[in-house]
């Protein structure tokens, strides 16, 4: 029986058909006026997504390469870093800082929770940190922080501390205002909200961050040396051969975001996530996160439902691919994407599939109970 493949993992995420077709076009060379003009257009649309006037650099690599670039360039060995560690990705950035000789203090926060403005204020009042590193939306737990308040608390209490933000599952999905919020280093990847396959990372630096790069003369990195990217971008270029066909395709996806407007994307993401949460909650599930992100939902399995059975059923019977938990959360949760090329009926389909899976696994379920709860939220998307 035909069941379409539906990819709802929190990255890679589904890619629009028009973007995929762009990837099938013959390969052109990238040192041309045409590529430069296209890359400039991409640049301007990336700035819209980042809500920034500064340059957003494109790195050929995973999101991790962009995050590492943001850290190694701005944080010299011996610098003091406060790393909010509340999930697998947050912990990874602490490892990166340590690799490069930073003095890292980890502010450990329970999985499923995030740092508050008050916690940041209290920490940075007592100690002078060179940088605060945090993940805006932690993909492993589906947890978001109030970045606007956190950045305000940081600026009021320690104006010179750099704010380094992993926006890999926030930028382009959740409200994110780099300039207004005073974010110094903002990182994302291609395969999340930007509706592209994996292969590109992005990083933007404030003037404060660039001053830190300029002062960090002994940095040991070559491919990820952002000064090289800064020099090249003046010619509309990249320092190393870029994944140029992915950049061509990115233009198509970013044009879709531009047309919907970034505010429209934020609203759609928020309402589809809320619809999904209402749907699964109505079915008796609990969210893993105390501060759920609108980009990715992490849901706890109730007693008697195993990850293997539940995700296996969705995969094998419904051709729906969602993610499980990582590390200590393996087997305890499942995760569903709401970013990027994901709409109202995608959210509804996962809720409906959840009902069918519960039924198949012999659990009590009333068809439509979750779906109706989701629909009552989705109605908000169809109002004028």
Q: Pick from 205, 246, 347, 353 the residue near a second copy by CB under 8 A.
A: 246
Minimum Å gap between C-beta 116 and a second copy is 29
Minimum Å gap between C-beta 220 and a second copy is 6
CA dihedral 30, 32, 38, 43 (to 10 degrees): 70
Other C-beta atoms lying within 10 Å of the C-beta of residue 188:
31
Cβ proximity to a second copy: between 155 and 321 the closer is 321
How many CA atoms lie less than 13 Å away from 382 in the CB half-sphere? 9
| b/e per residue 100-111 (b: at least 16 CB within 10 A) | bebebebbebeb
DSSP codes, 115-158: --HHHHHHHHHHS--SEEEEESEETTTTEE--HHHHHHHHHHH-
Name the token pair of 125: 């009042």
Cβ proximity to a second copy: between 30 and 114 the closer is 30
Q: Pick from 49, 56, 94, 96 the residue near a second copy by CB under 8 A.
A: 96
Q: Pick from 38, 39, 63, 293 the residue near a second copy by CB under 8 A.
A: 63
Minimum Å gap between C-beta 83 and a second copy is 14
Stretch that binds a second copy, among 47-55, 171-179, 240-248, 348-356 (CB under 8 A): 240-248
Minimum Å gap between C-beta 100 and a second copy is 6
What is the footprint of a second copy within residues 130-169 (CB under 8 A)? none
Rounded CA gap, 26 and 326, in Å?
38
SS3 225: coil
Stretch that binds a second copy, among 12-20, 142-150, 328-336, 367-375 (CB under 8 A): 12-20
Q: What residues have CB less than 8 Å from 256, skipping those under 6 apart?
A: 16, 18, 195
CA nearest neighbour of 299 among 362, 367, 350, 359: 350
Contact flag: residue 236 with a second copy (CB under 8 A): no
Q: State the DSSP code for 186.
A: E
Minimum Å gap between C-beta 263 and a second copy is 26
Q: Pick from 40, 99, 127, 328 the residue near a second copy by CB under 8 A.
A: 99
Cβ proximity to a second copy: between 28 and 128 the closer is 28
Sign of CA dihedral 96, 102, 106, 112: negative
CA nearest neighbour of 77 among 226, 212, 227, 218: 218
Contact flag: residue 384 with a second copy (CB under 8 A): no
- Quick note: the x/- pattern for a second copy over 196-225, rule CB under 8 A, is -xxx--------------------xxxxx-
Minimum Å gap between C-beta 224 and a second copy is 7
Binding residues vs a second copy (CB under 8 A): 5, 7, 9, 11-15, 20-21, 23-30, 32, 60-65, 68, 95-96, 99-101, 189, 191, 197-199, 220-224, 240-246, 321, 323
């Amino acid at each position: 029986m035909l069941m379409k493949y539906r990819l709802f993992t929190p990255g890679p995420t589904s890619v629009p058909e028009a973007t995929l077709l762009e990837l099938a076009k013959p390969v052109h060379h990238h040192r041309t006026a045409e590529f430069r003009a296209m890359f400039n257009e991409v640049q301007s649309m990336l700035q819209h997504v980042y809500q920034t006037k500064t340059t957003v650099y494109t790195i050929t690599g995973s999101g991790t390469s962009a995050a590492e670039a943001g850290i190694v360039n701005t944080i010299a060995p011996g610098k003091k870093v406060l790393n909010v560690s509340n999930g697998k990705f947050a912990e990874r950035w602490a490892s990166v800082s340590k690799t490069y000789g930073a003095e890292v203090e980890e502010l450990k926060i329970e999985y499923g929770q995030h740092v508050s403005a008050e916690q940041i204020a209290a920490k940075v009042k007592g100690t002078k940190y060179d940088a605060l590193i945090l993940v805006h939306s932690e993909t492993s737990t589906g947890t978001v922080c109030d970045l606007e308040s956190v950045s305000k608390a940081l600026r009021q209490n320690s104006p010179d501390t750099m704010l380094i933000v992993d926006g890999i599952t926030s930028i382009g999905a959740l409200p994110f205002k780099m300039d207004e919020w005073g974010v110094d280093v903002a990182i994302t990847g291609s395969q999340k909200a930007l509706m592209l396959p994996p292969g590109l990372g992005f990083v933007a630096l404030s003037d404060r961050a660039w001053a830190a790069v300029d002062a960090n003369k002994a940095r040991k990195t070559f491919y990820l040396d952002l000064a090289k990217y800064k020099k090249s971008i003046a010619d509309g270029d990249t320092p190393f051969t870029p994944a140029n066909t992915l950049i061509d395709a990115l233009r198509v996806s970013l044009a879709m975001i531009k047309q919907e407007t970034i505010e429209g994307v934020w609203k759609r993401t928020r309402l589809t996530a809320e619809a999904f949460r209402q749907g699964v909650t109505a079915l008796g599930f609990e969210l893993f996160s105390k501060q759920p992100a609108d980009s990715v939902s992490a849901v706890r399995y109730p007693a008697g439902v195993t990850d293997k059975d539940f995700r296996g059923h969705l995969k094998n019977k419904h051709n729906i691919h969602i993610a499980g938990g990582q590390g200590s959360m393996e087997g305890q949760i499942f995760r569903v994407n709401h970013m990027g090329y994901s709409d109202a009926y995608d959210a509804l389909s996962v809720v409906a599939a959840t009902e069918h899976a519960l039924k198949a696994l012999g659990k009590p379920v009333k068809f439509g109970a979750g779906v109706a709860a989701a629909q009552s939220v989705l109605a908000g998307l169809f109002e004028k």
